[in-house]
């Protein structure tokens, strides 16, 4: 048996009167079941019951049943999420579905595992659940190509579809559209309150909001406790209209100087956009010039500072377009770390594996001549903050390096190009 108890449910009276189709077989041998009404991918539990000897198919929660690509489309496996014993294999064609089971029981029609796993995955109200798993353009690919592409089944309530997931072996495949890849899941964030590691006498803390960028680059600003009893932050006092003056120690004064440079740059941009918008649109180098100014502020901050530069990092639950809108009241604090500048200690190198039928390219990141096998960056917006340890963050002050890393980061730092796409790859990409 499948390894857990079955709960039988009463089937519709119409199912009892359906003429059964019950060929004798060993369940390890494929049973061919034509598509319902002749439409590719159409199959319902009611239709499937014709191939099961008993009047009632055991019930199981469909969420407990997983369907996987094995080894490549249009071949799949059905099994229980928490049970690794019995496996049901299915293969789809334009005319039928074939099914067999690892239990190898002698049966008439479907065995109990085949009927239970497949029937409970299907719905009478959604007859085309399997349609998206038969893709002629994918099925016709040569076997060697299908073996290296990491196909994955994405399950929805009314249908299943074939997607491609990123993996560490081949990264992203050139010319596969973004929609062919499964979107990543956003992890739940924690509230800011209760997770701050602040000394009692601190008056301000300097935060980088990692999901906010100015001209595509990170900035940081000082925040203070608006209500000391609540121990929570809201807006930066440099960016509101209160013009609040703080009494700061020498360390905080030093950091505030650079935050004021960021604030002045963004305020100037705000005024220009409000009063002289045409001047910005006519200046084709405006964006790049502002990027250079922001990078220069970071370089000045980290170029032989009088003391270690330590900043805090946070991610707001809401995305903000303008810096003065940033509110840390509802955010997740990622911790604090000492920042150092990359200078010339960071190098990018390209490894190329030239196979007969494809080329595999990998971007390698070296820090002080040591390979960083799995680079970890703070935030998804950019690749300026490279995590060296829990206490040290490397700031990448090279726009080109950061841009290349951000591009390849979403591809697991790998790109695979099939031979037939070489010419287009060289023209379009390199």
Is the backbone peptide bond immediately before 74 cis, with ω within 30 degrees of 0? yes
CB 97 within 8 A of CB 43: yes
Angstrom distances, CA of residue 187 to CA of 179, 300, 332: 21, 35, 11
Q: What is the DSSP string of 10-30?
A: PPPHHHHTSPP---EEETTS-
Check if the beta carbon of residue 40 is closer than 8 Å to that of residue 131.
yes
Q: Which residues of 145-165 are buried (b: 16+ CB within 10 A; e: fewer)?
A: ebebbbbebeeeeebbebbbe
What per-residue confidence (pLDDT) applies to 197? 30
Q: Three-state DSSP class for 200?
A: coil
Domains of the chain, by residue range, sit at 7-121, 171-430
Query: Is the pLDDT at 20 greater than 80, yes or no?
Result: yes
pLDDT exceeds cutoff 50 at 403? yes
Q: Which of 215, 216, 266, 214 has its CA nearest to residue 238?
A: 266
Bridge partners for 365 per DSSP: 348, 372
Candidates 316, 368, 326, 358; CA nearest to 210 is 316
304: confidence class by pLDDT, cuts 50, 70, 90:
confident
Q: Give, in order, the Cα–Cα distances in Å from 90 to each of 67, 98, 111, 160, 192.
A: 10, 6, 13, 14, 49
pLDDT at 172: 76
> What is the reported pLDDT for 2?
45
Average pLDDT over residues 53-69: 91
Q: Give CA–CA dist 352/113, Å, rounded.
A: 46
What pLDDT, on a 0 to 100 scale, did the predictor assign at position 243?
A: 60
The whole-number pLDDT of residue 193 equals 23
What percent of the chain has a predicted confidence (pLDDT) above 70? 85
Secondary structure of residue 298 in the 3-state scheme: helix
Separation of alpha carbons 369 and 71, rounded Å: 40
Strand order in the sheet with 309-316: 220-224, 204-209, 309-316, 331-341, 392-395, 385-387
Higher-pLDDT residue of 413, 228: 413
Nearest to residue 71, comparing CAs of 152, 16, 9? 152
- Reported confidence tier of residue 12, pLDDT bands at 50, 70, 90: very low
Residue 430: the pLDDT is: 63
* CA–CA distance, 397 with 105 (Å, rounded to integer): 65
pLDDT tens for each residue of 112-139? 999 999 999 999 999 999 999 998 888 8
Q: What are the tens digits of pLDDT across the range 178-216?
A: 555 543 222 222 222 222 233 333 478 999 999 999 999
**Cross-strand bridge partners of residue 335:** 313
pLDDT tens-place string over residues 381-400: 899 999 998 889 999 999 99
Residue 403 to residue 409: CA distance in whole angstroms? 10
Q: Is 228 or 370 the better-scoring residue by pLDDT?
A: 370
What CA–CA distance (Å, rounded) separates 417 from 430? 12
CB neighbour class for 5 (10 Å; exposed up to 12, middle 13-18, buried from 19): exposed
User: Is pLDDT of 283 > 90?
Assistant: no
- Spell out the residues 6+ positions from residue 338 whose beta carbon is closer than 8 angstroms to its own: 308, 309, 310, 391, 392, 393
Which of 210-214, 298-302, 303-307 comes out lowest in average pLDDT?
303-307
With 0.85 as the threshold, say if the pTM is over it: no
**pLDDT category, 1, cuts 50, 70, 90?**
very low
Q: What mean pLDDT is predicted for residues 27-33? A: 96
State the DSSP string of 350-393.
EEEEE-SSEEEEEEEEEETTEEESS--BSSSS-S-EEESSSSEE
CA distances from 365 to 72, 100, 346, 401 (A): 33, 47, 7, 10
Find, among 327, 297, 294, the residue nearest to 309 by Cα.
297
Give yes or no for residue 161 having a pLDDT over 80.
yes
Q: Of the given ranges (78-82, 87-91, 117-121), which has the lowest mean pLDDT?
A: 78-82
Percentage of the chain beyond pLDDT 90 is 49
More confident residue, 195 or 293: 293
Q: What average pLDDT does the structure give for the chain?
A: 83
Span 342-376, pLDDT tens digits: 988 899 999 999 998 999 999 999 999 999 988 99
Position 248 confidence tier, pLDDT thresholds 50, 70, 90: confident
């Amino acid at each position: 048996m499948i390894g857990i108890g079955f709960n039988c449910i009463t089937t519709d009276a119409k199912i009892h009167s359906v003429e059964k189709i019950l060929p004798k077989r060993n369940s390890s041998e494929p049973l061919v079941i034509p598509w319902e009404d002749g439409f590719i991918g159409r199959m319902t539990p009611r239709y499937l019951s014709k191939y099961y000897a008993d009047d009632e198919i055991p019930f199981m929660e469909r969420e407990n049943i997983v369907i996987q690509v094995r080894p490549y489309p249009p071949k799949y496996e059905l099994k229980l999420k928490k049970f690794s014993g019995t496996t049901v294999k299915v293969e789809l064609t334009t005319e039928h579905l074939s099914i067999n089971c690892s239990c190898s029981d002698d049966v008439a029609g479907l065995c109990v595992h085949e009927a239970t796993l497949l029937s409970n995955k299907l719905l009478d109200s959604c007859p085309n659940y399997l349609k998206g798993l038969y893709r002629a353009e994918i099925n016709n690919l040569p076997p060697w190509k299908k073996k290296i592409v990491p196909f994955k089944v994405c399950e929805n309530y009314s249908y299943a579809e074939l997607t491609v997931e990123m993996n560490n072996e081949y990264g992203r495949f050139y010319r596969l559209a973004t929609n062919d890849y499964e979107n990543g899941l956003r992890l739940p964030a924690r509230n800011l309150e209760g997770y701050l590691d602040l000394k009692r006498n601190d008056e301000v803390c300097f935060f980088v909001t990692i999901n906010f960028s100015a001209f595509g680059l990170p900035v940081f600003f000082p925040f203070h406790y608006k209500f000391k009893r609540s121990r929570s932050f809201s807006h930066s006092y440099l960016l509101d209209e209160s013009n609040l003056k703080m009494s700061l120690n020498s360390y905080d004064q030093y950091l505030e100087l650079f935050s004021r440079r960021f604030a002045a740059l963004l305020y100037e941009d705000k005024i220009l956009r409000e009063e002289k918008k045409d001047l910005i649109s006519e200046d084709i180098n405006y964006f790049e010039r502002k990027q250079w100014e922001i990078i220069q502020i970071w370089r000045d901050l980290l170029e032989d500072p009088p003391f270690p530069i330590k900043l805090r990092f946070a991610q707001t639950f809401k995305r903000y377009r303008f810096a003065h809108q940033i509110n840390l009241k509802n955010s997740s604090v990622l911790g604090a770390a000492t920042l150092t500048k990359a200078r010339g200690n960071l190098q990018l190198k390209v490894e190329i594996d030239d196979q007969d039928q494809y080329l595999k390219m990998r971007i390698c990141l070296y820090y002080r001549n040591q390979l960083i096998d799995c680079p970890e960056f703070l935030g998804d917006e950019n690749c300026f903050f490279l995590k060296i340890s829990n206490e040290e963050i490397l700031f990448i002050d090279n726009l080109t390096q950061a841009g290349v890393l951000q591009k390849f980061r979403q591809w697991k730092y790998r790109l695979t190009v099939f031979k037939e796409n070489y010419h287009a790859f060289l023209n379009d990409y390199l």
